[in-house]
Amino acid sequence: MHLHIEPSNGLAIYDQIVRQIKFAIASTTLREGELAPSVRELARELTINPNTVARAYQQLQFEEILESVRGTGMVVKKAATGRCRKERSVLIQERLSSALLEARKSGISTSELRTLFDKELKRLEKEEASA
């Protein structure tokens, strides 16, 4: 469970937390019934304000992914794993699709796009291997 926040990703901080918690559940880094990191702990770790984490958790609670247990913490709800996996697919796809759409509209050809994709993917794999 170590999240990473990009200060000016376009996405709001609380939104980045929401996404990453969902992804952590999707990949079973966080399992059903387990406790999510506490508001204050996560805020300290990311050096952001506890209110911002609380806001993210509030949304995850609204989306039936986390459950608040007063005095104990936020518990990952039953059946959340499956739901998060589906959402992960959608979120990733949306982002990729939107990037490709912009690229096409800007006049980049599909073949250039394919080349760019391969290059970026290889660069990523190399980085992961060295890490």
State the nearest-atom distance from the C-beta of 69 to a copy of itself, in Å.
Answer: 26
Distance CA 96, CA 130 (A): 25
Residue 102 makes contact with a copy of itself by CB under 8 A: yes
Residue 90 binds which entry of DNA, a copy of itself, none, CB below 5-8 Å type-dependent: none
Give, as ranges, the residues between 28 and 87 that touch a copy of itself (CB under 8 A).
none
Question: Which ranges constitute the DSSP H helices of the chain?
Answer: 13-26, 39-46, 50-62, 80-105, 110-130
Q: How far apart are the first and last CA of the chain?
A: 17
Residue ranges in contact with DNA by CB under 7 A: 12-15, 36, 38-41, 48-52, 54-55, 57-58, 61, 68-74
